[in-house]
């Protein structure tokens, strides 16, 4: 018996091509990056679902080449505009224009309220000396004044005592300040006590002692210093209008006197002109 040996036929891929199984349907350029096949994938015919999936996969490969490792690249993410991002971050940190700037004391003092009062006087064009040292009447002692202010060009001085107390200021405080002022060698024209509030007896004592009380409404702290400054300055400005320096008062009195004299002279001139007109 003659035995014949059948030569094994090479395996063919399901798509019916002449390429062995395991070989990519397209060529490679040696870099593991798929390249386009010799004929369009849609011209390949297949009679099996696997071949159909291969056809669609090949078409997708032609449209979006994969990475070197065979995975597809993720979709491009939208890169935000750097300029718009920077502008947004700046606008987020930029303070509102309506925001009030923090108060910064302009004078070096021991207490915050003293600096506030000194700044308020300075804004009204006073020459200010915080924690001033003034001699007493007999010259044997020196007393420290919280704020001493003088109006330049005129003889006008102001004494300010600052009481940044938690509770209302009472009569004993007014009496002590009156004694301090009376002992000074240089007597001030204006005497001011600044405090959060005064009780009724203290208000009466202020009038009797010749003091002016300025109420801040709250104890001064760095959190409300700007508001306290505004209150003090407003009251001092109103006080300056009501209490003009002596030189200004003297000028006003002289203007009134000159006006009265001119009116009198005008009447005398009319009397002298009457006989002339009759002639």
Sign of CA dihedral 174, 175, 180, 183: positive
Does the pLDDT of residue 29 top 50, yes or no? no
Range name among 57-61, 120-124, 144-148 with the lowest pLDDT average: 57-61
Confidence of residue 229 (pLDDT cuts 50, 70, 90): very high
Provide the residue ranges of all domains of the chain, joining segments of one domain with +. 112-243, 244-274
Q: What is the mean pLDDT of the chain?
A: 72
Q: What is the pLDDT of residues 73-127, one digit of tens each?
A: 555 555 445 444 433 333 333 334 333 467 888 888 889 999 999 999 999 999 9
CA 139 to chain centre: 48
CB 247 within 8 A of CB 154: yes
Using the structure block, give the residue that is written with the tokens 């009472």. Answer: 170
Model confidence, pTM = 0.53
Nearest to 129 by CA among 104, 107, 156, 162: 107
Q: H or E element: which one contains 91?
A: helix 82-93
CA–CA separation, 94 and 87 (whole Å) = 10
pLDDT score recorded for residue 39: 46
pLDDT score recorded for residue 107: 82
Does the pLDDT of residue 269 top 60, yes or no? yes
Using the structure block, give the residue that is written with the tokens 């001064």. Answer: 220
CA–CA separation, 12 and 37 (whole Å) = 18
Neighbours of 211 (CB within 10 A): 21
Topology adopted by domain 112-243: Trna Endonuclease; Chain: A, domain 1 (3.40.1350)
CB 140 within 8 A of CB 172: no
CA 158 to chain centre: 33
């Amino acid at each position: 018996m003659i035995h014949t040996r059948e030569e094994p036929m090479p395996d063919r891929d399901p798509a019916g091509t002449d390429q062995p199984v395991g070989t990519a349907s397209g060529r490679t350029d040696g870099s593991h990056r798929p390249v386009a096949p010799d004929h369009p994938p849609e011209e390949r015919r297949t009679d099996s679902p696997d071949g159909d999936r291969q056809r669609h996969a090949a078409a997708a490969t032609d449209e979006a080449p994969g990475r070197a490792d065979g995975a597809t690249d993720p979709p491009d993410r939208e890169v935000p505009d750097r300029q718009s991002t920077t502008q947004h971050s700046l606008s987020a940190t930029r303070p509102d224009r309506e925001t009030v700037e923090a108060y910064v004391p302009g004078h070096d003092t021991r207490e915050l309220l003293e600096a506030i009062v000194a700044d308020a006087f300075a804004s009204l064009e006073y020459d200010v000396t915080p924690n001033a040292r003034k001699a007493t009447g007999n010259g044997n002692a020196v007393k420290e004044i919280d704020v001493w202010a003088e109006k330049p060009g005129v003889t006008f001085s102001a004494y300010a005592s600052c009481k940044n107390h938690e509770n209302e200021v009472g009569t004993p405080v007014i009496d002590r300040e009156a004694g301090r002022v009376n002992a000074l060698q240089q007597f001030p024209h204006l005497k001011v006590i600044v405090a959060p509030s005064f009780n009724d007896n203290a208000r009466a004592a202020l009038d009797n002692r010749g003091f002016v009380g300025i109420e801040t409404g709250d104890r001064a702290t760095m959190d409300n210093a700007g508001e306290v400054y505004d209150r003090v300055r407003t009251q001092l400005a109103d006080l300056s209008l009501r209490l003009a320096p002596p030189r200004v008062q003297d000028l006003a009195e002289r203007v009134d006197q000159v006006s009265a004299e001119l009116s009198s002279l005008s009447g005398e001139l009319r009397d002298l002109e009457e006989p002339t007109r009759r002639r």
